[in-house]
Amino acid sequence: MDSTLSLPLKGLKVLELATVLAGPAVGMFLAELGAKVIKIENLTTNGDVTRSWKLTTEDPNWAYSAYYCSVNWGKEILLMDLNQAQNLAWLQEQIKTTDIVLANFKPESARRMGLDYASLAKLNPQLIYGDITGYGSGDERPAFDMVLQAEAGFLYMTGEKNGAPVKMPVALIDLLAAHQLKEGILLALLQKEKTGLGTKVTVSLYDTALASLANQATNWLIAGKIPQRMGTLHPNIAPYGELLECNDGGQIVLAVGNDRQFQLLCKTLDLEDLAQTPQYSDNKQRVLNRQELFVQLQAKAGQFSREELLNKLHQMGVPAGAVRTMPEVFAESAAQELLLHWALPDGTEVRSVRSVVFELEQNPNE
């Protein structure tokens, strides 16, 4: 592939002053696209706090964590005390030749150190400043993904029916905020090409969380339906999210989105008559009668092994997938192709997953 396509941001300089997940995820995205990313971590706190977020299976003496490794590929990492005048002066000098700054300071802290957008834009009018906040400017409440999952309604509606609320197993609000900031920064780069001026791009975790509620928000806003905990089930579609257990203990999840797919499902399971039954004839009826439908589907699914049933469903064009563990996920060749093999500053070799998974292809007619 043409290097200008595989590394379209080569030549850009990024200073990453952000910590934890959202900001560093943006930094890694920019690094994967060719930008030079310099990550400045607070020396007085032994670096980014996620260095210490370790599993019990990790070496307690190691300077990093698996969590940290998930979003810090491809960066030049410097430990620095920015309260020291000479270090702050060095950083401010770097700003003059920097294209993008990533930050998640509290507003007062940024102003005190002269690292807010207004101060840095005086040093470099072309600077793009990516700023991540918890609840927006003026609200200095500490914001962690777990809290935002609760505040935005995700926690309330996640979990099994009649069970306790369950958090999502990744910090998805942080990751979605990172995507929002990436989009804003790319637009700011386009604007800079047109005007020669920089931009401040601000994203809050709270706004990101609300914007990501999608159909669950409109289920309430339009239909007056308060989303409830349903496990894997979909409130609008059936059988969608139903988990079928096979005779080898493996599980398959269904994602049947229309009547044609339901007919193919019934044919696969030798239940053609079911597709003609009035209470399952269309999606509305299947949602109303999903519990009775599940019993019949499960009875047939239990006659197959997971791989046998999954192959049959795929051959028929029925949307379904195996419920896989992490070892099973990364045993797949497609997953192996997304792995990054790299070394940390101490020389330790690690593996992580790429964040850039789109491809750019040159117009063949040029």
Which CA distances in Å does 268 have to 133, 243, 252, 263, 311? 50, 16, 14, 9, 10
What sign does the CA torsion over 150, 152, 157, 162 have?
A: positive
- Least Cα distance to 322 among 248, 259, 236, 230 occurs for 248
Give the span between the Cα atoms of 238 and 287, in whole angstroms: 5
Per the structure block, which two tokens stand in for 79? 């430990």
Strand 240-245, strand 349-353: pairing: unpaired
What amino acid occupies position 335? A
Per the structure block, which two tokens stand in for 256? 């049947």
The dihedral region occupied by 224, where left means phi > 0, alpha psi between -120 and 50, and beta the remainder, is left
Which CA distances in Å does 165 have to 155, 206, 218, 339? 6, 19, 21, 33
At residue 188, φ and ψ (nearest 5 deg) are -65, -35
Q: Where are the alpha helices (DSSP H) in 85-142?
A: 85-95, 107-113, 117-123
At residue 144, φ and ψ (nearest 5 deg) are -120, 155
- Least Cα distance to 256 among 277, 279, 238 occurs for 238
- Select which of 131, 174, 248, 346 is catalytic: 174
Those residues whose C-beta lies under 8 Å from the C-beta of residue 329, and which sit 6 or more positions away, are 335
How many CA within 13 A on the CB side of residue 141?
13
What amino acid occupies position 10? K
344, 64 contact by CB (below 8 A): yes
Per the annotation, the verdict on 174 as an active-site residue is yes
**Catalytic residue set:** 174
